Amino acid sequence: MCIFKQDKKLYLDIFYKKKYILNSIIIAFGIALILLGVYYIKINPLPLIDGIDINENYANGGLLWSEPLLERDVPIFMIIVICFAFYEDYIGNAYEILTFYNKEKFNTLVFSRWLIYTVIILFIALANVFIQYIYSIGSILDVLILMMRFIPPILFISSLCLFVIVIFKNFIPAFVVSIIYVVLDQFSGGRLFKVFTLMGNSFFLENKSLFYINRLSLTIISVIFVYFACRISAKI
C-alpha cells in the first residue's frame, strides 16, 4: 500500500509539478506572438491585395515567403515545450509507472499530453497568422488556407521531438536532434531536407506540386512518429 501511494504521488507529480510553470511560459509566448501580429498590422502592414489568387501572392516579390517566426521560432519553442512536458517521465522509474497505468498497446496518456500541448501552440501560431494577414489578403477563406500551410511543419517538429524522447528515454537527444534539424533547414534554405523541409519555400517557387508534396509528407511522417512513439511507450 505504501509503495502504491508513493507511485501514485510520483504519477501525479509528473502532471502537476511543472504544470503551472509550463502553462505560464506558454501563455506569455502566446500573448507575445499575438501582440507581434498586432504590431505588424499597425507598424509594418503588408500591402493590400485584392482579387489576386492566394497562390499567386506567394510568388509575387517573395511575399509571404520569409516567415522565420513560424518556420523557425515557433518550431523551436515547440521543441522546448515538448521536452519540458516529457522530461520528467524518464527521471528514475517514472515512465515505468506511467506505462503500468496504461493497459492498452497504444499509450493514450502520452498521446493526449502531446496532443494538448501541440494543439495549444498551433492555435497560438495560427492566431498570429490570422491577425497578420486578414487585413492584407481580405478574404477569410484565403487566410484560412494560408494558416493551413503552417500546420505541417509545427506538427512535424513536435512529433519528431516526442519520438526521439521515447526512443532514447531522455529529452536531451530529442532537444539536440530537433534543434539541429531546424537550424540546418534554415541555413540551407529548405534544400537540405528536400521534401521534408519545414520551409517549403524553394519547392513552391519551382513547382506547386512539390510544395503540396512537402506539406503532405510532413503530415504523414508526423502521424507515423506519434503512432510509433505511443506504441513504443506502451511497453516498459
Residue ranges per structural domain of the chain: 2-232
Output the pLDDT for position 155.
95
* 126/155 Cα distance (integer angstroms): 12
Query: Are the CB atoms for 160 and 77 separated by under 8 Å?
Result: no
Q: Which residue has the higher pLDDT, 112 or 157?
A: 157
CA-closest candidate to residue 235, choices 175, 173, 174, 167: 167
For residue 134, give the nearest of 45, 53, 31, 32 by alpha carbon: 45
3-class SS at 105? coil
> Rounded distance, CA 108 to CA 111, Å?
5
Name the nearest CA neighbour of 46 among 61, 31, 34.
Answer: 61
* Distance between CA atoms of residues 163 and 111, nearest Å: 11
Instruction: Compare 15 and 233 and report the one with higher pLDDT.
Output: 233
Q: How many CB atoms lie within 10 A of CB 177?
A: 17
| Axis crossing angle, helix 108-137 with helix 74-86, rounded to the nearest 10 | 160
pLDDT at residue number 46: 54
> How confident is residue 18, by pLDDT bands cut at 50, 70 and 90?
low
- CB contact at 8 A, 59 and 141: no
Look at the block and give the residue holding cell 512537402: 214
Of 59-73, 131-145, 212-226, the least confident: 59-73
- Summarised one tens digit per residue, pLDDT across range 158-188 is 999 999 999 998 899 999 999 999 999 988 8
DSSP state of 192: S
pLDDT digits (tens, 9 = 90+) for 52-110: 455 555 544 444 455 777 888 889 989 999 998 888 777 766 667 667 666 778 888 88
CA dist., res. 133 & res. 48, Å (int): 10
pLDDT of residue 1: 42
Q: What's the CA gap between 149 and 124, in Å, rounded?
A: 15
